[in-house]
Amino acid sequence: MIFLEVIMPVLLIFFSGYVLQRIYKLDLKPISTLAIYVLSTALVFRTFYKTPLDMQLFYIIVISMLLTLGLIGITYLTAKCFKYDRQQESAMMLSTAFMNSGNYGTPIILFAYGEAGFDYAVQIMVFHGIIMGVFGVYFASRGKGGVKDAVRNVLKQPSNHAFIVAILLQQAHIVIPDSYYQAIDLVAQAGIPVVMLILGMQLANVSAKELNWRELSVASVIRLVASPVLAYLICLMFPIDPLLQNVLIILAAMPSAATTAMYAIQFNARPQFVSSSVLVTTVMSVGTLTFLLHILQ
């Protein structure tokens, strides 16, 4: 029942993008650029313009940062153990440190926990997007260039600026005229469904013959097993709402983020491997998420 009611509706949207790409063979780079620079930026701005700065949001930010740093540390040690070069390490970071809390996680939470859980999921998703806009862009662009290039690319991400502007407007009690806010909201609403379709389109471009199973196995274990366990341990440190705890753990168990695959395409950071990681972890997550949702219900 959990699979049919929660997982299957989301997979059908991915499948629509998959079929579209298999038929029309579209160029994903301009579509991913649209999603990163326009749709995601509007979504970040809308969320933080409306979200009150309370203790629950503070816990979301702290736990998300601790989880990201913990996963980066685990991946860094793993990369050193397997003697990966910088480009391999960067691609592994993109595949393991960032979960698909947006185009996979939020609809899963909506179907599993309703509007209350969905409100938490959107806040987490947007902050995760900001984390990816900083750390994800850094790791994606440092694979080919230097640290200066990576930092420069981070500063170019409009979603990072949108977050700051939204918080400043909210705290200054500056009200955006309804017609302008509706325009922002209209673009923001397209963010999640478009990126869901992009994920399906990316999966259609992955060839099973080219999969590096050793690296993908490592990435899958970190992403689908180590991440939710680490999230659970971190959540125990804070007095948070049990529903928020469940949402954080489930989102931590999501497969590799499709956004990082878009960054890999954008900055040519082994996009085939990162996209393959998205494919493999997404397929495997059908089983792992069904099991986790059953445990947490």
- Residue 227 maps to which CATH number? 1.20.1530.20
- The pLDDT value recorded for residue 173 is 93
Residue 289 domain boundaries: 30-201+211-296
Q: Is 99 helix (H, G, I), strand (E, B) or coil?
A: strand
- Which stretch of 77-91, 114-128, 206-220 has the lowest confidence by average pLDDT? 206-220
Residues 6+ apart with CB under 8 A from 82: 218
Residue 149 pLDDT class (50, 70, 90 cuts): low
Please, what is the angle between helix 106-131 and helix 158-171, to 10°?
A: 100
- The Cα 207–Cα 190 span in angstroms is 29
Residue (of 150, 255, 197, 149) closest to 35 by Cα position: 197
State the number of CA atoms in the 13 A half-sphere of 253 facing the CB: 24
User: How many CB atoms neighbour CB 107 within 10 A?
Assistant: 20
Question: Is 25 inside a domain boundary?
Answer: no
**The one-letter amino acid at 43:** L
Question: Is 3 inside a domain boundary?
Answer: no
Residues 6+ apart with CB under 8 A from 157: 36, 133, 134, 137
Say which residue, 297 or 63, is predicted with more confidence.
63
CB 204 within 8 A of CB 17: yes
CA-derived radius of gyration, the chain:
18
Give me 52's structure tokens.
Answer: 């009150």
**CB crowding 228-258: b at 16 or more within 10 Å, else e:** bebbbebbeebebeeebbbbbbbbbbbbbbb
- Which stretch of 70-74, 102-106, 185-189 has the lowest confidence by average pLDDT? 102-106
Predicted structure pTM score:
0.85
Question: Is 86 inside a domain boundary?
Answer: yes
* Per-residue pLDDT tens digits for 81-117: 999 988 889 899 999 999 988 778 988 998 899 989 9
Q: Is 256 helix (H, G, I), strand (E, B) or coil?
A: strand
CB 120 within 8 A of CB 250: no
DSSP sequence for 135-190: IIHHHHHHTTS-HHHHHHHHHH-HHHHHHHHHHHHHHTTPPPPHHHHHHHHHHHHT
Mean pLDDT computed over every residue of the chain: 88
* Per-residue pLDDT tens digits for 24-38: 999 888 888 898 889
**The one-letter amino acid at 294:** H
Q: Is the pLDDT of residue 151 over 90?
A: no
* Per-residue pLDDT tens digits for 224-263: 999 999 999 999 999 999 999 999 999 999 999 877 877 7
Residues 6+ apart with CB under 8 A from 62: 238
What is the total count of domains within the chain? 1
Give first-to-last CA distance, the chain, whole Å: 12
Give the rounded distance of the alpha carbon of 235 from its chain centre.
19
Question: Is 243 inside a domain boundary?
Answer: yes
Say which residue, 272 or 179, is predicted with more confidence.
179
Question: Is 16 inside a domain boundary?
Answer: no
Give the helix, strand, coil percentages of the chain, each rounded to 5. Answer: 85, 0, 15
Q: Is the pLDDT of residue 70 over 90?
A: yes
Question: Is 2 inside a domain boundary?
Answer: no
Give me 158's structure tokens.
Answer: 């409009």
Question: Is 131 inside a domain boundary?
Answer: yes
Residue 166 pLDDT class (50, 70, 90 cuts): very high
Question: Is 22 inside a domain boundary?
Answer: no
CB 99 within 8 A of CB 128: yes
* Per-residue pLDDT tens digits for 125-142: 888 888 887 888 888 887
